[in-house]
Amino acid sequence: MCRQDAKKSMRIVSLLPSATEILYALGLGNSVVGVTHECDYPADVHNKTVLTKCVFDSEKMSQQEIDSEVRRLAEKGESLYRIDDRLLQDAAPDLIVTQDLCHVCAITPGEVERAVKSLIQKPQIISLSPKTIDDVFNDMLRVGDAAGVQAKPIVESFQSRIRKIAPAATLKNPPTVACLEWLEPLWRTGHWIPGMVRLAGGEEVLADSGKPSRTVNWSELESQNPALLIIMPCGYNLSRAREEFLRVRYLYPWERLRAFQNQSIFIVDANSYFSRSGPRLVDGLEMLAEMLHPEYFANLAPLHSYVQIN
């Protein structure tokens, strides 16, 4: 079978929103036959069969309630998500793209293994576990190779955009930055986010590149006293992130932070540009450059992708 025929005939299931975005970026949208309930980009994905569901309705819960329920399920060793076995059988995938990075916020390897046992024809499974933005590009190459398409030119186009931002990392006296991916309780970010901050010309003071996120107490945040504070609740769009910040605004003395005093608190659309380890991280990087160094970078961020709290 030639590479072009493989692209046309392959049936692919994506069990991760970022994997879905990778597949579409590689021109494989027509081959996608099943996605998760969280896959919402690009628009065509809404025409695909949804194979998963969450065991609770997070849309109706506060961050504290979500955190408590996640911890409860984790302690019991239970997955937050379920795959519909019948729909997976109907999808009859040749390739499944899933993840092994976070066993809390996505389909777990164990759940994939359980569901695949019901398939007569066993598909190839690619498990993504990126920890840096370079890992994301390597994942794109792996997926392209498995699906029989040339991913390298597409990856290079994203990397060329990064090279336009990268000189910011050489600027003297980079502003200190703290990124929070949860507000109740407070969580710092991790994995690819600190590296993105560094590429955009900032110094992330709470997290290290490639390391997992973790809880952080207020005194740690206040002692670091960052020049910029970026609120990016994991999986939240801009509207919901802003609502959540306003809801918990009086839980902490934000006014004691230099970022608050300098009107340098930003809220972003994390779900689109930071939480997912996919191609739109490049948009997130450009957004960071615009926020950190508006004197050098302007009009790079997607429309309505962030707001500045005054």
> What does the pLDDT profile of the chain (310 residues) look like in tens digits?
334 444 457 999 999 999 999 999 999 999 999 999 999 999 999 999 999 987 666 666 676 766 676 667 666 666 678 899 999 999 999 999 998 766 556 688 888 999 999 899 999 999 999 999 999 999 999 999 999 999 999 999 999 999 999 999 999 999 999 999 999 899 999 999 999 999 999 999 999 888 989 999 999 999 999 999 999 999 999 999 999 999 889 999 999 999 999 999 999 999 999 999 999 999 999 999 999 999 999 999 999 999 999 7
Return the structure tokens found at 75.
């302690």
φ/ψ (deg, to 5) at 65: -65, -40
How many angstroms separate the Cα of 187 from the Cα of each of 84, 214, 232, 298?
32, 5, 10, 29
Q: Distance between CA 87 and CA 52 in Å, rounded? A: 9
pLDDT value, residue 4: 42
Q: Do 234 and 270 touch, CB atoms closer than 8 A? A: yes
Residue for token pair 């976070």: 102
Collect all residues with Cβ–Cβ distance below 8 Å to 129 and sequence separation of at least 6.
Answer: 99, 100, 101, 135
All domains of the chain, ordered by start, with CATH? 3-158 (3.40.50.1980), 173-302 (3.40.50.1980)
Closest residue by Cα to residue 210 from 198, 195, 222, 224: 195
Q: What pLDDT is recorded for position 5?
A: 44
What is the pTM for the complete model shown?
0.90
User: In whole angstroms, what is the distance from residue 112 CA to residue 123 CA?
Assistant: 11
Q: What is the pLDDT of residue 80?
A: 74
Query: Using CA atoms, how far apart are residues 14 and 95, in angstroms rounded to an integer?
Result: 9
Cα first-last separation, the chain: 59
